[in-house]
Each structure stands twice: as structure tokens, then as C-alpha cells.
Structure 1
């Protein structure tokens, strides 16, 4: 029987792009146009206010309440880029990495690119944490997947939280958060 060791944290949709045009995006490979890094636009204006929302081009935006929760719980390797046109909102970047199990999760890697080392698509909702590539996971953490999942310029890492972190988020309470089980 599989054991739940973490959760994929999911927020609402922002219903907009951080970058309107692929021609001006500093976060993509200039050759293949795949998203390869995070470059938040501090002048982006939030359209749909919430605790945690994601833009169509997969930037995670969190509220001041979410940021405060993370600071109070001393979660490490988080970066909050303040959105100057939307006071109280931040682009969240997570530095801590957890490897997911590509084999057990049946994750499909499509068309590797030599120009930047990315794939055009990484497909399949993650379900399993790698047993071999991670130390034992703590119960209280916030991390991201090593790979960016999705297609082309709409790829992003999966946000993961520990079992205890989920409980704390529900008690805080942070509204509009959804959790998908990840197994060992």
C-alpha cells in the first residue's frame, strides 16, 4: 500500500498571462521558446485576488497572508517578489527541490532540446515521490519538483508541501487551496 508523504499544492487560476507576448518573455529559451527559468515581472497587476493563484504562463502568486504564514513557520528557500502594482501580492519562487518518480508516475518526456536542456513537454500529473533520489522527507516543508511540467512556454515546477504543512495551512486558515496526494 502506498504511503502519502506529501501533497501537490494547487491554487486557483489567475485568468491572465504574466507576459502577454512570447516575443518579450525573458523566461524562455530564445531558440526553442521553452520556459527554462523564473523571471517574475514585478509590475504585473493581479486580476483575480486570492490566497494562491497561478497565471496561464504558470507563475505562482500568493497573498500577504500566505507570505506571513511561510515566515511564521520559518520555511526556508522561498523568495517572494513583491508586485508593485498589486500591493499585498507576491510571485512565489521555491528553491527546495524534491525529485518525483518518473517511472512509477508514468511521466512522459517529449522532445529533448540540446539548445537549453529542456523538453518540449513533460506530461502526467505527478503521483509519486522518488524513493531513491531524496532523503526521507520531513512532515513540514514547502518544496518544488526538479522538472517543470507542462508544455513549451507553459511549464512550471510542481509545488509540494508536507503532511504537517497541509494541516497547518488548513488551520491558519488559508482559503482556496487544493491538495493532491503524493505517494512514496
Structure 2
């Protein structure tokens, strides 16, 4: 059964952390835990959705308005001071990822920094909940990737996908999420 979709967002050729001072423990954290932006970053894309090389999702004023008009809750739009009309799109609605079902690997835990260097094995997305995802934006409880660029999967339900497609937003594709995959049978 189709549950929803993972957003696949194209890069905008920018690196949020390039000019930021990251400390030694930041490589064991994810984008949400680091929770900082480069106030000088200049986004030049025309896409409604884009991603920095370090996996921060950036959206336009049009996406922000769309989300407000739809009444979507649990979203935060962090203004980028040097890029008027662009925002870091943060999702606070959490869906549990089933790391055991997929065999996700947690690599090099650092006790002092309380995090992993890498978390590998995000796709296809295996969720603990096995029902259709409701209208809105969600993210996984686990962030995937390496070092300071770890980020959660961003997830929507079928109704949200139809609304996004109807709105003509650019810069996104959609990977299907199922309750069970062929390799699990």
C-alpha cells in the first residue's frame, strides 16, 4: 500500500556551512541540531524548492504562502537575510523511521558529542506507521548522511503531493513510500 512520498529536492549550488565556524562536535550532529544559517548566503535559484549542498531545504515566499493558506502546522520558515524571499524550511512534524526493517547503519558514535559521524540507509523509506500519511509536511526522527550534513527525510502524503503538483512548484520530485517492499516479502 502506498503511504506517501519522500521529497527529492534539487541542489541550488550553495553551501550553508562554507563560511560558518563549526566546532568539533558538529560533525556528529545534523542540520536541525546545529540549527544555524549563514546570514550572508545568497540563493540564486528560481526553483520554489531547493537544497544546499549540506542538505538544508530552501523554499521561496510562494511556498511559504502556500503552506500558510493550506493551514499546515509544525513548519518554520527561517528568513535568509541576504536572500530576500528565501527561507530555510524546517519541519517539526515527526514520523518514526524503521531503522531495523531497513538495516540502517549507525557509524562511529562519539560519547562526548552524543552523536554518530554517519547514519547510512535511508531509502527506500521504511516507516514504523503503516497507514497513509495525512495532508501536510513531515520529517523522519532520524537524520541520514555524513558528518554535519546529516538531515531527515522530508515526507508528504498523497494529498499534499497532488496540491504541490497542481501549484506548479519546481525543484522537487517524489519517491514513493510503501508499507512493505518486494525485498521484505
TM-score range, shorter chain: 0.7 to 0.9
Of 109, 113, 116, which residue of structure 1 is paired with 2:113?
116
With the length of structure 1 as denominator, give the TM-score of the two structures.
0.86
The match for 1:154 is 149
**Deviations for 1:46-78, whole angstroms, at most 9, x for unmatched residues?**
133311111111111001111111111111111
Between Structure 1 and Structure 2, the one with more helix by share is 2
TM alignment of 1:159-170, pairs within 5 A? 159-170=154-165
Which of 3, 8, 12 is the equivalent residue of 1:5?
Answer: 3
8 Å CA contact retained: 1:140, 1:164: yes
Q: Tell me, yes or no, if the aligned pair for 2:80 and 2:86 is still in contact at 8 Å.
A: yes
Q: CA deviation at 1:21?
A: 4.6
In the alignment, the residues of structure 1 paired with residue 12 and residue 81 of structure 2 have an alpha-carbon distance, to the nearest angstrom, of 17
Whole-Å Cα distance in 1 between the matches of residues 105 and 27 of structure 2?
A: 19
Q: Residue 14 of structure 2 aligns with which residue?
A: 16
Aligned residues: 175
- 5+ residue gaps, structure 2, are 180-185
2:60 is the alignment partner of 1:66 = no
Judge which range, 107-116 or 67-76, deviates more.
107-116
Instruction: Provide the C-alpha distance between the structure 2 equivalents of 1:10 and 1:183, rounded to a whole number of angstroms.
Output: 16
Q: Deviation at 1:39?
A: 1.8
Kept in 2, the 8 Å contact 1:32–1:115? The answer is no
* In 1: Cα distance, 2:38 partner to 2:76 partner: 14
